[in-house]
Amino acid sequence: MYDKTVLDNGLRVITHSMPRMQSVSIGVWLGVGSRNESRDTSGIAHFLEHLVFKGSKKYSCQQIKELIEGVGGALNGFTSEEATCYFAKLPKAMQFQALDILADMALNPLLKQSDIDKERYVILEEIKMHRDLPQSHVHDLFQELLWPGHSLGAPILGNDKTILRLSRRDLASFQKKCYVSSETVIAACGRLEHKEILKKIKEKLGGLQNYSKNTFDPAPGYEQSARIRILRKDIAQTHLALGFYGINRDHPDKYIYSLLHVIMGANMSSRLFSEVREKRGLAYAIGTYIKGFADTGTFLIHAGVDNTKLVQAIEVIAGELGKIKEKRVCANELRRAKDFYIGQLSLALESTLEHMFWIGEPTLHLNKTYKFDEVLKEVKKVSACDIKRLAGEIFKAGKTRLAVIGPVKEKGEEKKLYGCLRNL
């Protein structure tokens, strides 16, 4: 199903031929993110991602955009805690040019001082925008509660002080040290031939000789007690992020974990949406979010609620968490969760871009790919007992962290919130 080749320099190439498609999606994945930063360089991975689009040795900033967008394609990139990715989706006839552009961007950026000076203030504006959106900022507060003083708890965007302090030497050194062949995966899906893609990559990147390994500090332990952080702000709606320490990305329970997420808050049929919004009208938006890292993970419940109903909303959420720990889900609910998970995956894999993400990320982090039939088999094996067991392991009072942004009263309301969490 997937063709994979490892070059002599450690660079990995993985492709999937989708001959009925008219597009090709290509991603250059690098095993570096905010988790590889120190406190003094917080935000450098994301800063570098911005600068890569400003021009490379072979292509100017304008050429990078026009050569891909000018034929109807899309170009973008992202930085996460453990990865950076530059990707494009475009008509199949332009795949080799797009590959050359992405590779030259990532590995031969100009990093001009004038671009650094301008982009520094663009990122500062991005940070301001993020802070002005409480539904986004509350996630940063939650991460800090989970991992205080650790790179996992620091914002991917960095902070004002580090962004203002980072120099061209810092950025160039980080790029040279971390953008290395042994930490690079090129993934491509669509109307393509693996041999042709591989030939172009060997011509462009086969000569790279850097086998170093990017490292990061392991996730720290945690205090066995509920913790709350409140940012008091005069806004019309209170935003909350309530969550727990989860499991790593390749944990044996990963499919149970995903189905637990579906049941609790992944769609409008979920328990939290039904109970908090539909039955009680306490929120417009409520849902769950899961994420796995190399050695840990998060299970997060996020919502925006009426300023006067925060405690009531937390009580209802805590009640639903208690129910799934105490009583097995019924056969019909479990079947619907499985059908939703498989259906969503099936639809996503019809897209060349989503399929590229599907094979690129696990190849980068785990040096393996998942096959749809194997995933289907594992999902079908999950039982109601599995869901109940994992819910009991994750949804514990001692693992609970709650971040809130809104006009919360000084002490009385905070005490009530702690009371709700202790009852988990």
CATH of the domain at 21: 3.30.830.10
Is residue 83 domain-resident?
A: yes
Which member of 37, 49, 81, 119 is catalytic? 49
φ, ψ for residue 311, nearest 5 deg: -60, -40
Q: Could you tell me if 10 and 101 lie in one domain?
A: yes
Q: What is the pLDDT of residues 311-358, one digit of tens each?
A: 999 999 999 999 999 999 999 999 999 999 999 999 999 999 999 999
**Based on the structure, what is the number of domains in the chain?**
2
Q: What is the pLDDT of residues 55-75, one digit of tens each?
A: 999 999 999 999 999 999 999
Is residue 19 domain-resident?
A: yes
Tokens 């850097």 locate to 210
Q: Could you tell me if 91 and 174 lie in one domain?
A: yes
Q: What is the pLDDT of residues 155-186, one digit of tens each?
A: 999 999 999 999 999 999 999 999 999 999 99
Is residue 220 domain-resident?
A: no
Q: Could you tell me if 249 and 193 lie in one domain?
A: no
Q: What is the pLDDT of residues 120-155, one digit of tens each?
A: 999 999 999 999 999 999 999 999 999 999 999 999
- Paired strand residues for 17: 190
Q: Give rounded-to-5 percent helix, strand, coil for the chain.
A: 50, 20, 30
Q: Could you tell me if 103 and 252 lie in one domain?
A: no
Q: Could you tell me if 94 and 241 lie in one domain?
A: no
Is residue 71 domain-resident?
A: yes
The answer, yes or no, to whether residue 234 has pLDDT greater than 90, is yes
Domain boundaries, position 296 = 227-422
Query: Whole-prediction pTM value?
Result: 0.96
pLDDT confidence of 422, banded at 50, 70, 90? confident
The average pLDDT across 365-372 equals 96
How far, in Å, CA of 361 to CA of 369, rounded?
Answer: 9
End-to-end Cα separation, the chain, in angstroms: 45
The answer, yes or no, to whether residue 224 has pLDDT greater than 90, is no
Q: Could you tell me if 247 and 154 lie in one domain?
A: no
How far, in Å, CA of 47 to CA of 123, rounded?
Answer: 7
Q: Could you tell me if 197 and 234 lie in one domain?
A: no
Respond yes or no: is residue 393 known to be catalytic.
no
CA-to-CA separations, 378 to 254, 270, 324, 341, 358, in angstroms, rounded: 10, 22, 21, 12, 17
Is residue 213 domain-resident?
A: no
Q: Could you tell me if 239 and 381 lie in one domain?
A: yes
- Paired strand residues for 166: none
* Mean residue pLDDT across the chain: 96
